[in-house]
Amino acid sequence: MNSFGRIFRVSIFGESHGAGAGIVIDGCPPGIPVTDDDFEKDLARRRSGADGTTPRKESDIPEVISGFFNGRTTGAPVAIIFRNSDTRSSDYSKFRAMPRPGHADFTSNLKYKGYNDMRGSGHFSGRITVGLVAAGVIAKKIIKDTDISAELVEAGGSRDIKKAVSEAASDNDSVGGIIECRIRNMTQGLGEPFFDSFESVLAHIIFAVPGVRGLEFGSGFKAASMRGSEHNDNFISFNGKTETNNHAGINGGITNGNEIFFRLAMKPTSSIAKTQITFNMEKKEMGELKAEGRHDTSFALRVPPVIEAAAAIAAADLFLINRIYQDIQ
């Protein structure tokens, strides 16, 4: 539920306005060197600060509790904590009565019978992806010859992302976006039929990232209108290189060595400064809601390093699992 992976297994925890957020990583091979700079590089990209991101400032210093010795992983579980510092919990409990549209307020309150921590959306906040990024830093070291790179390529339907975000901000509104991710030089043979195809495992973790609405690999939705003769990627070399790459480096759920490419849709931030009309569960009538708190105009701006981390975690797990096929018989 809050853990993912079979061998390289991450367990996430934390809340937006509680003590902090963090992650435990099990199945991490020993001897992997990770520096503070390694963490900071990815954490900085996720951090707020740019135009269109929340004014909340978190320093995101990783506090490593276990699993490291002399700068390298030991093979024991790695536990990393990030303290929350810049929290301002105005009255979030009102969202039990009047759940914000598009938010987890209604469903989390219902599922957890009112015991959930709603401050800053609690466990449902994007805040907890900070732990995912930390685990991704280590995962990237496991698949060390592989390069994973995600970027926001569109916001509000426009390639001029800066403008789309600033316009939405000045309208007290928010805006969604498209993220593209490329994985280069991925080991061949990763992915497990039937259920743990490379796409399945990746999709599982990608759709766990708050706000993802769609995911496509390679030709994606275009494939639906293509002919087989056009969509098939002809092999052109002994090592599996293909002429085209509609299959995004994956055949039958297993990596073929070509570039893996996927694209995903992020919804616009649900919390907006604009007044909304929604149902008041206590008064049992429609009412006006103004979502206070500090929010990203487009959290999609901060998601690319989270997607990279998610992809790295999924790939590292499949990479380690794939070793079982070596040198048995």
Footprint (CB under 8 A) of a second copy, residues 27-86: 27, 29-33, 63-67, 69, 72-79, 81
> Of the candidates 94, 182, 184, 204, which one interacts with a second copy according to CB under 8 A?
204
Nearer to a second copy, 48 or 109 (CB): 109
Note whether 294 binds a second copy by CB under 8 A: no
> Of the candidates 42, 58, 60, 192, which one interacts with a second copy according to CB under 8 A?
192
How far is it, in rounded angstroms, from Cα 33 to Cα 122? 33
Nearest to 318 by CA among 239, 253, 238, 240: 253
Note whether 113 binds a second copy by CB under 8 A: yes
CA-CA-CA-CA dihedral for 152, 301, 314, 27, to nearest 10: 150
Radius of gyration for the chain, computed over Cα atoms and rounded to the nearest angstrom: 21
Report in angstroms how near the CB of residue 294 gets to a second copy at its nearest: 15
State the burial class of residue 33 (Cβ atoms within 10 Å of its Cβ: 0-12, 13-18, 19+). exposed
Q: Are 311 and 158 in contact (CB under 8 A)?
A: no
Nearer to a second copy, 91 or 113 (CB): 113
Full 3-state SS string of 12-74: EEECCCCCEEEEEEECCCCCCECCHHHHHHHHHHHCCCCCCCCCCCCCCCCEEEECEECCEEC
Nearer to a second copy, 40 or 254 (CB): 254
Give the x-and-dash track for 134-173 against a second copy (CB under 8 A).
Answer: --------x-----------xxxxx---------x--x-x
> Of the candidates 37, 145, 170, 227, which one interacts with a second copy according to CB under 8 A?
227
Note whether 96 binds a second copy by CB under 8 A: no
Nearer to a second copy, 133 or 266 (CB): 266
